[in-house]
């Protein structure tokens, strides 16, 4: 299942839900996802009582048809946030992307990161909702 929620400014959140995750392939899945999307292999991680969360961010833009990925620095704040949230008690997982538009880039990066982490910490999977 894939959901996209956007606003008039062009920012959006996209989520992909899976209930066919294989726990033994989790690290491989995470590593490949972050390598492909942000050109990193070791995202930030933390756990809640029921989930394992992998996340990171970057500043991305297109130069012609080529996507350029830059990791956050003083000159370029993140405009793309990505997370993989795995349920510890089932095969369920969520891949989540948050992309900001040019119009919304004036936001406070620290507050934005706190907002994104608060969303990740509050993801709950329903018990008994496995494939």
Beta bridge partners of 113: none
Residue 128 phi, psi (nearest 5): 75, 15
**pLDDT for the residue numbered 49:** 93
**pLDDT for the residue numbered 52:** 95
pTM of the complete model: 0.81
Burial of 85 (0-12, 13-18, 19+ CB in 10 A): buried
List average pLDDT for each run of 10 residues in the chain, which is 131 residues long.
46 83 85 91 93 92 87 79 93 90 62 89 79 50
Tens of pLDDT, residues 13-45: 888 888 877 878 888 899 999 999 999 989 999
**pLDDT for the residue numbered 22:** 80
């Amino acid at each position: 299942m894939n959901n996209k929620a956007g606003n008039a400014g062009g920012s959006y959140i996209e989520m992909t839900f899976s209930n066919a995750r294989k726990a033994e392939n989790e690290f491989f899945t995470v590593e490949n996802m972050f390598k492909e999307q942000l050109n990193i292999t070791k995202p930030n991680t933390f756990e809640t009582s029921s989930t394992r969360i992998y996340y990171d961010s970057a500043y991305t833009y297109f130069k012609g048809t080529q996507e350029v990925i830059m990791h956050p620095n003083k000159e370029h704040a993140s405009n793309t946030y990505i997370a993989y949230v795995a349920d510890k008690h089932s095969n369920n997982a969520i891949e989540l992307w948050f992309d900001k538009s040019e119009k919304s880039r004036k936001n406070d990066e620290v507050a934005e990161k706190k907002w994104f982490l608060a969303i990740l910490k509050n993801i709950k999977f329903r018990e008994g909702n496995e494939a």
